[in-house]
Amino acid sequence: MLFNSLTFVVFFAVVVLVHNLPLPWRVKKLNLLVASYLFYAAWNPPFVVLLWISTVLDWYVARAVYSEQRLSRRRLLLAISVVGNLGLLGFFKYGDFLLHNWAGLMALLGVQYVPPAWDIVLPVGISFYTFQTMAYSLDAYLRRAPPASSFLDYALFVTFFPQLVAGPIVRPADLVPQFAEPKRTPANQFLWGLGLMTLGLFEKTVIADGALSPAADAVYGAKDTPAAVDAWLGTLAFSGQIFSDFAGYSTTAIGCSLCLGFSLTDNFRFPYGAIGFSDFWRRWHISLSTWLRDYLYVPLGGNRKGNRRTYVNLMTTMLLGGLWHGANWTFVVWGGLHGLYLAVERWLRERFTHLKLPPRAGFRLGAALLTYLLVNIAWVFFRAEDMTSAWRLLRSMFGLHPEVKAVLPTVYIIEVVTVIAAMWIIHWTMRDRRVEDLVAKTPWWVVGTVWAAMVFLIIITQDEGHAFIYFQF
């Protein structure tokens, strides 16, 4: 079920109505759990079974691993969780990729191997909920957090519909305790939650789908090589599209949770205003980057095993982070590029610790723009269908392709330039602020008018119910 659909409007209205009936807290949680399963089943009912498998597996593993004292047994139990979850993910998401790469490798060795057809539907949200349940078992193994005492609370943590299919990837310690005590939603919180939902849907339907995706699709789907201007504008359009699409989802999820009385973590903090890549990854898909930090980078040794090992750990984490996004080498290259950016930044910081970035706005602005430029170069790999298309577009961006054609009509160019410029200015000016702070300082009638304008624009944009980009991950 998409947030940007009439089905969700009706679904959410019913859930809110039922949640606000005078029922015992336990019954309310059960209702939310059933609603969450319905939410997921609305895509494809049989795939709820996979959700159950992941839920039940980690419930039992976490309880066992937390109380188990013998290291070998604890490791075995953890392996069951990791293999089980990654096995699910691997089968549905990477099976075809692995088969085709194996066939390619065999071909290089002169062995003819034709892989069988692998026509398996990718269950929506599998990358998110498997990571969430693995985090539950990992926290129990690392004794960072005890397992939940209530299966209902734990099951609701796994399936909580606002964040089930595209995050934020919530930590057990952040959400499970919220289910323990009854929650009332004051009117102010409910309305603020609705406001955030409106903002999220505005980002998705008006900005991502309406204003930016046509230009990005036109450039990345062009049969002929786009001209340099088109290549850059198409990529900038994609940078705005993927941010607005994904941040829109997260904002809607946060608002939806608030309406039900729960708090989710921020997932984006104006990432295009970042200065450098450490800063970027503290602002972009925060729940994933912190998950990778805490469950991959740090267990690998982090920065505690010497310089060389630190760079290896960094690159490994970013390469796997790229692969998490999809079964294609382009995602691996995207992750690898970000790993390279982080590594170079770290090296420069170590070599030139005595040189700090001058506090003058001009230097900081220049550094932020450079960061944004490099982020866009990486986006080329993220968006392109394959490596050939990615290289073709990159060569065009730098004027290195001999035969190019104009692709974008003038109206798309105006839309992209206007929206991206506005977006970047907002990210830059808001980089140290929160939306809540800005809204608190704004006159109430301005907030009401802006809210109305967003609702009106959502209605008249008439989104055709395009899926969120991160659903494919």
**Counting contacts by CB under 8 A, is residue 307 touching other proteins?**
no
Which of 167, 214, 276, 336 binds other proteins (CB under 8 A)? It is 214
Helical (H) or strand (E) element with 413: helix 410-429
CB atoms near residue 188 (< 10 Å): 8
* Cis amide linkage into residue 358, ω under 30° from 0: no
> Is the CB of 264 or the CB of 332 nearer to other proteins?
264
Stretch of 59-67, 108-116, 237-245, 406-414 lying at the interface with other proteins (CB under 8 A): 406-414
> Is the CB of 99 or the CB of 343 nearer to other proteins?
343
Which of 408, 419, 423, 469 binds other proteins (CB under 8 A)? It is 408
User: Per CB under 8 A, which of residues 68..87 are in contact with other proteins?
Assistant: none
Strands (DSSP E) found in 190-238? none
> Is the CB of 85 or the CB of 317 nearer to other proteins?
317
> Is the CB of 83 or the CB of 411 nearer to other proteins?
411
Stretch of 17-25, 149-157, 184-192, 241-249 lying at the interface with other proteins (CB under 8 A): 184-192
Stretch of 55-63, 170-178, 327-335, 423-431 lying at the interface with other proteins (CB under 8 A): 170-178
Q: Could you tell me the sign of the dihedral formed by the alpha carbons of 385, 387, 389, 395, in that order? A: positive
In the complex, least distance from residue 151 CB atom to other proteins, rounded to whole angstroms: 22
Which of 27, 73, 347, 436 binds other proteins (CB under 8 A)? It is 436
Which of 293, 309, 364, 466 binds other proteins (CB under 8 A)? It is 293
* Phi, psi for 110 (deg, rounded to 5): 85, 15
Which of 55, 289, 328, 389 binds other proteins (CB under 8 A)? It is 289
DSSP structural state of residue 61 = H
**Counting contacts by CB under 8 A, is residue 173 touching other proteins?**
yes
**Counting contacts by CB under 8 A, is residue 43 touching other proteins?**
yes
What contacts 349, CB < 8 A, 6 or more positions away? none
- Residue 268 CA to residue 326 CA, distance in Å, equals 20
**Counting contacts by CB under 8 A, is residue 411 touching other proteins?**
yes
- Phi/psi class of residue 301: alpha, beta or left (left: φ > 0; alpha: ψ in -120 to 50)? left
- Phi/psi class of residue 399: alpha, beta or left (left: φ > 0; alpha: ψ in -120 to 50)? left
**Counting contacts by CB under 8 A, is residue 407 touching other proteins?**
yes
**Counting contacts by CB under 8 A, is residue 103 touching other proteins?**
no
Which of 74, 171, 285, 431 binds other proteins (CB under 8 A)? It is 171
**Counting contacts by CB under 8 A, is residue 471 touching other proteins?**
no
> Is the CB of 287 or the CB of 328 nearer to other proteins?
287
Number of residues that bind other proteins (CB under 8 A): 89
**How many helices and strands in the chain, by DSSP H and E?**
20, 0
**Counting contacts by CB under 8 A, is residue 461 touching other proteins?**
yes
In the complex, least distance from residue 372 CB atom to other proteins, rounded to whole angstroms: 19
Which of 342, 378, 384, 469 binds other proteins (CB under 8 A)? It is 342
**Counting contacts by CB under 8 A, is residue 45 touching other proteins?**
yes
Give the residue carrying structure tokens 């319905």.
38
**Counting contacts by CB under 8 A, is residue 449 touching other proteins?**
yes
Give the residue carrying structure tokens 């982070």.
321
Q: For residues 279 and 178, is the Cβ–Cβ distance under 8 A?
A: no
Quick one: tokens of 97? Answer: 């990729």
Cα–Cα nearest to 80, from 94, 59, 96: 59
What contacts 214, CB < 8 A, 6 or more positions away? 412
> Is the CB of 103 or the CB of 312 nearer to other proteins?
312
> Is the CB of 362 or the CB of 443 nearer to other proteins?
443
In the complex, least distance from residue 284 CB atom to other proteins, rounded to whole angstroms: 12
Positions annotated as catalytic residues are 325
Which of 284, 291, 379, 473 binds other proteins (CB under 8 A)? It is 291
Helical (H) or strand (E) element with 169: none
User: Per CB under 8 A, which of residues 192..211 are in contact with other proteins?
Assistant: 192, 194-195, 206, 210-211
Contacts of the segment 191-196: beta carbons below 8 A, 24+ positions apart: 192/255, 192/258, 193/254, 193/255, 193/256, 193/257, 193/258, 193/259, 193/260, 194/255, 194/259, 195/255, 195/439, 195/447, 195/451, 196/251, 196/252, 196/254, 196/255, 196/258
- Residue 466 CA to residue 469 CA, distance in Å, equals 9
Which of 187, 223, 308, 432 binds other proteins (CB under 8 A)? It is 187
- Residue 45 CA to residue 43 CA, distance in Å, equals 7
**Counting contacts by CB under 8 A, is residue 302 touching other proteins?**
yes
Cα–Cα nearest to 195, from 269, 255, 258: 255
User: Per CB under 8 A, which of residues 223..282 are in contact with other proteins?
Assistant: 224, 254, 258, 263-266, 278, 281-282
**Counting contacts by CB under 8 A, is residue 44 touching other proteins?**
yes
Show the CA angle centred on residue 255, arms to residues 22 and 440, nearest 5°: 110
In the complex, least distance from residue 465 CB atom to other proteins, rounded to whole angstroms: 7
* Phi, psi for 226 (deg, rounded to 5): -65, 155
**Counting contacts by CB under 8 A, is residue 164 touching other proteins?**
no
In the complex, least distance from residue 107 CB atom to other proteins, rounded to whole angstroms: 31
DSSP 72-104: HHHHHHHHHHHHHHHHHHIIIIIHHHHHHHHHH
